Amino acid sequence: MDNARYRFECRDVADCDVIIYSELRESIFEAARSHLKDVHGWDASDDEVAPYIEEV
């Protein structure tokens, strides 16, 4: 079993301080894209979101 966790920090957009954690790589991308679209109106691709996701 892989114990990797992933974190997305939305600190670079409009003083947002949301942090999202996930144990699934696919889920963190989906959650990050959803947050960016729903909260900030930004339709981001996986490539655009990737720099803000790190393994913890």
- Would you state the pLDDT for residue 7? 96
Q: Is residue 1 part of a domain?
A: no
The dihedral of CA 22, 26, 32, 35: what is its sign? Answer: negative
- Total domains in the chain come to 1
- Residue 2's closest CA among 32, 25, 20, 21? 25
- Would you state the pLDDT for residue 17? 86
pLDDT tens digits, one per residue of 1-53: 567 899 999 876 667 889 999 999 999 999 999 999 999 999 999 999 999 99
Q: Which domain does 12 fall in, by range?
A: 6-55
pTM comes to 0.84
Give bridge partners of residue 54 from the DSSP assignment. 7
Q: Is residue 22 part of a domain?
A: yes
Q: Is residue 39 part of a domain?
A: yes
